[in-house]
Structure 1
Amino acid sequence: MASLELMKITGYTDEEFQNKFSGNPYAFMINPESIKIQKSIEYNDQQAPATSSASQKYKSTPSNKLSFEMVIDCTGVVDAKRVDMAKEITALETIIYTYNGKIHRPNFVKVQWGQNITFNGVLDSIDVSYTLFKPDGSPLRAKLSLSFSQYISPKTVTMTDAPQSPDLTHIVNVSEGMSLPQLCLQTWDDDSLYIQVATYNNLNKFRNLNGVNKLIFPPINPSSQ
């Protein structure tokens, strides 16, 4: 019988999720009953002249959201070694919420459940409700609502958000038989910018690129052409 995979949260001190925060990841005592992943698209409503309704023009794709509820049970029934509620809450908050002076912000976090669910993000909110108490008032059980936003580093956003944008620099491999206008069309979906690329690379030809292996496609503002 396969062992139970517990959800865990690992802290990271860099936005590329390479350097782990000191200490162990926080392992859940009880896995969530459900998780919610929210994806959305934002539009600007634009109404053309002489029309009765607005059309939606794409604006942006916000980061994905992950939310779920978890239970911390310190009665000793779930885990006889984990019976200190304050210690559990502190361990979790240190990873996901507490300000980290070394990086001047809370940690980046990776939420993992088995091999199928991995979410790199940052904490949006944490709500704690205590639901069971000892006679002296100290809490024995807590339900936590957690919400995270996906985090993608600015470097990765630049690479993935606009791979064909003329305002970014590209290094393009030249295939045999390709002309410069064809490469501009392939890279920027605009074959009219070949003169600027030829000038930047000191080319005196653009139809026959034999002997040329790579070209630099510099940032160009098509509206100024």
Structure 2
Amino acid sequence: MDDNGQLVKVLIHAYEDEEFRNKSGISPNPISLPVNPESFTQNFKVELNQQQGQGNQGTNPDYKGTKPEELKLDFIFDGTRTIEGYKYNGDDHSVKSELEIFMNTVYNMNGEIHRPHFLQVQWGNFMFPCILSNLDLNYTLFKPNGDPLRVKASTTFLNYVAQRERVARERRRSPDLTHVRQVKSGDRLDLMTHKIYKDSNYVTRVAKANGLTTFRKIKPGRELVFPPIDKRSQE
């Protein structure tokens, strides 16, 4: 529900660019899920190398990477007209027509970009930039002529971050580059150092780089430089 007590539907916006700036010209855009899911699942995965040496009983997993976040939504398309608040995206209220609109948005190839759309799943204030990675359609009810009357959709959306933004994020987090931070009230140099380098033992080097004779009292508002440090040379 929104602040006015109105039911907020899940929306799916379709874009033609990976930075989510140019909306697709398909209509309607965005589309609404006909019925909100009762819940949704976010899946986070860390990829580890768990190879075990011969004769060893345990493993010492090495970190390989963090996989993109997944969002899973299950909902239905229904043509029985018995569900209160059911939302149609087109004038033809058949399940077949609603499925076609949905597939054009999330799955079918856009001839302008030669791939399916980039998507933003929105539910109220929740926004998830993504692409569709999996779709299962389970047909459970039919009209006498064989047309579908109810279909359960199970979808998996994969979080998508544009290459330029991803590289920028990684550069901002990298301890191998110079960082500049403004001191806020309550900040401690050792904690700021640990946040960037994952090791507070470099605090004296940071203090020296900034001409500090003490790092216990730092004036708020001052900008501090955290220089690049090659940790391999310290080993």
- TM-score normalised over the length of structure 2: 0.68
For the pair 1:106 / 2:96, whether they are aligned, the reply is: no
2:59 aligned to 44, 54, 57, which one?
A: 54
Tell me which residue corresponds to 2:162.
Answer: 153
For the pair 1:96 / 2:106, whether they are aligned, the reply is: yes
Cα deviation for residue 167 of structure 1 reads: 6.2
Tell me the distance in 1 between the aligned counterparts of 2:194 and 2:36: 50
8 Å contact from structure 1 (residues 12, 107) kept in 2 = yes
1:10 aligned to 10, 13, 21, which one?
A: 13
Tell me the distance in 2 between the aligned counterparts of 1:104 and 1:46: 39
Cα distance per residue 1:175-212 (max 9 Å; x no partner): 9xxxxxxxx99977898xx9xxxxxxxxxxx887xxxx
From the superposition, tell whether residues 2 and 52 of structure 1 become closer, same or farther in structure 2 (CA, over 3 Å). Answer: same
**Residue correspondences, number:** 201
- Classify the secondary structure of the residue corresponding to 2:38: coil
Tell me the distance in 1 between the aligned counterparts of 2:106 and 2:66: 24
For the pair 1:21 / 2:30, whether they are aligned, the reply is: no
Gaps of 5+ in 1: 176-183, 195-205
Tell me the distance in 2 between the aligned counterparts of 1:124 and 1:90: 18
Tell me the distance in 2 between the aligned counterparts of 1:128 and 1:48: 43
Cα deviation for residue 173 of structure 1 reads: 8.0
Tell me the distance in 2 between the aligned counterparts of 1:173 and 1:68: 40
Tell me which residue corresponds to 2:49.
Answer: 44
8 Å contact from structure 1 (residues 74, 82) kept in 2 = no
Which of structure 1's runs of 4+ aligned residues deviate more than 3 A?
Answer: 46-52, 76-82, 164-168, 170-175, 184-191, 220-225
Tell me which residue corresponds to 1:123.
Answer: 132
8 Å contact from structure 1 (residues 76, 83) kept in 2 = no
Cα distance per residue 1:11-56 (max 9 Å; x no partner): 1111111111113211111111221111111112366999752212
Cα deviation for residue 101 of structure 1 reads: 2.0
8 Å contact from structure 1 (residues 16, 153) kept in 2 = yes
Letter of the structure 2 residue corresponding to residue 40 of structure 1: K
From the superposition, tell whether residues 164 and 150 of structure 1 become closer, same or farther in structure 2 (CA, over 3 Å). Answer: closer
| Percent of matched pairs sharing the same residue | 33
Gaps of 5+ in 2: 184-192, 212-222
- Which deviates more from structure 2 when the two are superposed, residues 70-79 or residues 95-104? 70-79
From the superposition, tell whether residues 151 and 174 of structure 1 become closer, same or farther in structure 2 (CA, over 3 Å). Answer: closer
8 Å contact from structure 2 (residues 34, 77) kept in 1 = yes
Cα distance per residue 1:89-146 (max 9 Å; x no partner): 111111111111221211111111112x221111011111222221111112211111
Tell me the distance in 2 between the aligned counterparts of 1:71 and 1:49: 50
8 Å contact from structure 2 (residues 172, 179) kept in 1 = no
From the superposition, tell whether residues 134 and 158 of structure 1 become closer, same or farther in structure 2 (CA, over 3 Å). Answer: same
- Which deviates more from structure 2 when the two are superposed, residues 140-149 or residues 152-161? 152-161
8 Å contact from structure 1 (residues 133, 141) kept in 2 = yes
2:68 aligned to 63, 70, 74, which one?
A: 63
Q: How does 1:207-222 map to 2 (within 5 A)?
A: none
